[in-house]
Amino acid sequence: MSSTNQVFIAVIGAGGVGKCFLSQLQGLAARKPSPKLSLAYISTSRKALYNDDYAAIDLNNVVDTLATSSKSPLALPKVVDYLAAAPSKVILVDNTSSQDVAELYPLALSRGISIVTPNKKAFSGSYKLWQDIFTAASSSGAKVYHESSVGAGLPVISSLKDLIETGDKVTKIEGVFSGTMSFLFNSFAPTSGQGGKWSAEVKKAQSLGYTEPDPRDDLNGLDVARKLTILARLAGLPVESPESFPVQSLIPKELESCSSGDEFLEKLPAFDSQMEEVKAEAEKAGKVVRFVGSIDVPSKSVKVGLEQFDASHPIAALKGSDNIINFYTERYGSNPLIIQGAGAGGDVTAMGVTSDLIKVLGQIA
């Protein structure tokens, strides 16, 4: 089979997003006879499936087959060796949130393996890793796409790239980048009505599965800071790391040392008055408070934290756990280009991964 007629796919990670991706891959493979998409490797952190002769792994019930596999995953550099020796082009799909897998990208790309991923770690870690990734890709010609690393399947990264590549000047990017923060503030400080107590809203968000098991992992602002790091770098700012700009944490100092998320939630009501003050101050100004990230390109300033908005502002009027991203550019003038919708969930996140895969296929096959 000639190289353009077959592309090997390797998948690391088969959790919430990975399972949805595998189902979308199966549909894509059935709809798209050429190039033939062959699953050559799949693993979680404990199990793997692969064949030494690269024979395709059946996509039917692959998650169940993987769960009962007796093979362990190859060590990460060995995964690269195995894939680089495949008899056709390879796309590696990283559906983990692993830093170790992220650090493998420069090696994989330098050996001609393209990458698509929703994993933020590689693009929001050190600026050196970012440079190593894109240098490796440009010297080998392998492709790297990560749409779902910001706003899940929402076309945030592709839109930003389109704006820049067509010659528009992006002046400011501002938005709500966390489904958790969106849910919390839309119910704590709604544009009409009272809203609940802060601690009660955090507890509710956790019980609905909108927060990480320990809500402090959302409230520390780091997840939003990682997404801002990615967008700022794409907009041309050499941001060193997500710790290199101001990020407001919503964890009271006294609760930083709680030994568990449960202990944190138990003690949080004692700090409700702090958040009530923030809400009351915004109300006095006729506004509502929201947790936003913003990038001001001309002044090279990036920040994450609480801001006040008029009730009529699109950021204030957001519903549920949606994300919203506003791009202010020369062409769009004072009315920004707005992208809004679900910023989390297996199916929509996997959609971003699958559409990246389709883009790579269009360029390598």
Ligand X SMILES: NC(=O)c1ccc[n+]([C@@H]2O[C@H](COP(=O)([O-])OP(=O)(O)OC[C@H]3O[C@@H](n4cnc5c(N)ncnc54)[C@H](OP(=O)(O)O)[C@@H]3O)[C@@H](O)[C@H]2O)c1
Residue 361 has a CB neighbour count (10 Å cut-off) of: 20
| Beta pairing partners, 203 | none
Q: For residue 283, give both structure tokens.
A: 């109300």
283 is in an annotated binding site: no
Cα distance between residue 11 and residue 43, in whole Å: 7
| 3 state SS of 114 | strand
Are 49 and 41 in contact, with CB atoms under 8 Å apart?
yes
80 is in an annotated binding site: no
13 is in an annotated binding site: yes
Q: Is 106 in the site for ligand X (CB under 6 A)?
A: no
Q: For residue 32, give both structure tokens.
A: 């798209």
15 is in an annotated binding site: yes
| Residue in 143, 227, 279, 287 annotated catalytic | 227
Q: Which of 6, 38, 88, 96 binds ligand X (CB under 6 A)?
A: 96
| 3 state SS of 268 | helix
Length of the chain: 365
Are 128 and 45 in contact, with CB atoms under 8 Å apart?
no
Contacts of ligand X in 133-172 (CB under 6 A): 148, 152
Cα end-to-end span (Å), the chain: 13
Q: How far is CA 102 from CA 97, 118, 127, 141, 236, in A?
A: 8, 11, 13, 19, 21
Q: Is 196 in the site for ligand X (CB under 6 A)?
A: no
Q: Is 345 in the site for ligand X (CB under 6 A)?
A: yes
120 is in an annotated binding site: yes
Q: Which of 7, 10, 17, 239 binds ligand X (CB under 6 A)?
A: 17
Say how many residues touch ligand X, by CB under 6 A.
27
Q: Is 108 in the site for ligand X (CB under 6 A)?
A: no
256 is in an annotated binding site: no
Cα distance between residue 191 and residue 194, in whole Å: 9
Q: Is 242 in the site for ligand X (CB under 6 A)?
A: no
When the beta carbons of 186 and 349 are compared against ligand X, the nearer one is: 349
Sign of the C-alpha dihedral, residues 86, 92, 93, 95?
positive
For residue 48, the minimal CB distance to ligand X (Å) is: 8
Active site residue 169: no
For residue 159, the minimal CB distance to ligand X (Å) is: 17
For residue 115, the minimal CB distance to ligand X (Å) is: 13
3-state SS string over 174-209? EEECCHHHHHHHHHHCCCCCCCCCHHHHHHHHHHCC
Pairing of strands 36-43, 48-50: antiparallel
Q: Is 44 in the site for ligand X (CB under 6 A)?
A: yes
Report the residue number whose CB is nearest to ligand X: 15
CA dihedral 315, 173, 177, 258 (to 10 degrees): -100
DSSP state letters, 210-235? -S-SSTHHHHTSHHHHHHHHHHHHHT
When the beta carbons of 84 and 342 are compared against ligand X, the nearer one is: 342
Cα distance between residue 81 and residue 9, in whole Å: 14
Q: Which of 219, 344, 351, 357 binds ligand X (CB under 6 A)?
A: 344
212 is in an annotated binding site: yes
Q: Is 14 in the site for ligand X (CB under 6 A)?
A: yes
Are 115 and 91 in contact, with CB atoms under 8 Å apart?
yes
Q: Is 115 in the site for ligand X (CB under 6 A)?
A: no
For residue 82, the minimal CB distance to ligand X (Å) is: 14
Q: Is 113 in the site for ligand X (CB under 6 A)?
A: no
Q: Is 46 in the site for ligand X (CB under 6 A)?
A: yes
Q: Is 229 in the site for ligand X (CB under 6 A)?
A: no
Phi, psi of 290 (to 5 degrees): -140, 155
For residue 228, the minimal CB distance to ligand X (Å) is: 15
Q: Which of 58, 81, 100, 277 binds ligand X (CB under 6 A)?
A: 100
Q: Is 118 in the site for ligand X (CB under 6 A)?
A: yes
When the beta carbons of 92 and 288 are compared against ligand X, the nearer one is: 92
Q: Is 215 in the site for ligand X (CB under 6 A)?
A: no
Active site residues: 227
The residues that touch ligand X, with contacts defined as CB under 6 A, are 12-18, 43-46, 73, 95-98, 100-101, 118-120, 148, 152, 344-346, 349
Known binding-site residues for NADP(+) equal 13-18
